[in-house]
Amino acid sequence: MIGEPEAVAPGAPGATAGRPLVVRSRGELAAVLARAPRPLGLVPTMGWLHAGHRSLIARARAESATVAVSIFVNPRQFGSPTDLDRYPRNEARDLAICAEEGVDLVWAPGVDDVYPAGFDTAVRVGAVGRPLEGAARPGHFEGVATVVAILLGLVRPERAYFGMKDAQQLRVIARMATDLALATVVPCPTVREPDGLAMSSRNVHLSPTERAAAAVLHRALQAGRARRDAGELDAEAIRAAVRAALAAEPLADVEYVSLADDASLAELERVDGPALLSLAVRFGSTRLIDNVTL
């Protein structure tokens, strides 16, 4: 349902203490966007909003006349139905957070509003999507690139905001959005818990013991950074320092530790330019990723 436009007061950053306008269908969205002040900033999310999302919204609020948040758990980017079913959802809480952060418009479509009848199009990004998460989760980035292309096509924001915690996703989306001329992608710093754990919707699945153990991710990345800061240029020595730090935590089941070129994500032998140090580690059935740039 479309509320009264007067209730939204878009265009006045920070001035909207009321609830955001919530729309569901493509048609409602088009009608609302036709009267939305520009520039428009979009924060695409899968819901279960946390402090990381709040920081994206705050950045969008500072730069936009209208701030839109999309909430859509995209079935096409999950490798298994179990992983999809397990993804946490709480729309009422998400809407309250959006209201607190001064969001003007929340777009919370159903699957049929995102994927029209007969949907049969895929958007694929090449080299930067192949290693790391691309290798570990076949089809994942095609699902991500496709749904973000749809969201950007429907909302047509000037800028879209993504967090650096999902470093490879950020690069895949930025490549796609530049190549298809859809929007400017704004990378935003990872927000962390006091013990360094990166904010993630998946953290909710950690048991208290696993949650405590997961702090090792940031410690391990910092150990790698310290080696680099001490003058180490051999990439494998830095990866080994990260793996050694992870090995101190018995609950950490390491999937990969990568030190790659920051732009191409090709694994490095020698660190002689901007580099991305990243890892994927399982704690029980919960798979977490994190990264730092060197």
Taking the least distance from each CB to a second copy, the nearer of 151 and 281 is 151
The span from the CA of 197 to the CA of 122, in Å, is 34
124 binds a second copy (CB under 8 A): yes
Site for a second copy in 161-200 (CB under 8 A): 175-176, 178-182
Q: Around 107, how many Cα atoms within 13 Å sit in the side-chain half-sphere?
A: 29
* Contacts for 44 with CB less than 8 Å, ≥ 6 apart: 69, 70, 72, 148, 151, 160, 162
Please state the closest distance from residue 28 (CB atom) to a second copy, in A.
14
Choice from 107, 115, 162, 283 touching a second copy (CB under 8 A):
115
Q: What is the dihedral of CA 274, 160, 193, 284, to 10 degrees?
A: -90
CB of 149 to a second copy, least distance (A): 5
CB nearer to a second copy: give 78 or 115. Answer: 115
Choice between 49 and 147, CB closer to a second copy: 147
Asked if the peptide bond before residue 250 counts as cis, ω within 30 degrees of 0, the response is: no
Q: How many residues bind a second copy (CB under 8 A)?
A: 27
Binding mask 64-103 for a second copy (x = CB under 8 A): ----------------------------------------
Residue 242 CB, shortest distance to a second copy, in Å, is: 28
Residue 98, phi then psi, degrees to nearest 5: -60, -40
Rule CB under 8 A: is residue 259 a binding residue for a second copy?
Answer: no
Q: Is 50 a catalytic residue?
A: no
Interface map 126-155 toward a second copy (x if CB under 8 A) = xxx----------------x---xx--xx-
Residue 217 near a second copy by CB under 8 A: no
What tokens appear for 253 in the block? Answer: 């089941």
Q: CA distances (Å), 174 to each of 3, 103, 144, 162, 195, in order? A: 33, 23, 12, 9, 30
| Selected catalytic residue, list 53, 140, 205, 218 | 53
CA distances to 11, 71, 77, 125, 272 from 107, in Å: 17, 6, 19, 25, 43
* Beta strands 40-45; 66-71: pairing state: parallel
Binding residues (CB under 8 A) for a second copy: these are 26, 115-116, 118-128, 145, 149-150, 153-154, 156, 175-176, 178-182
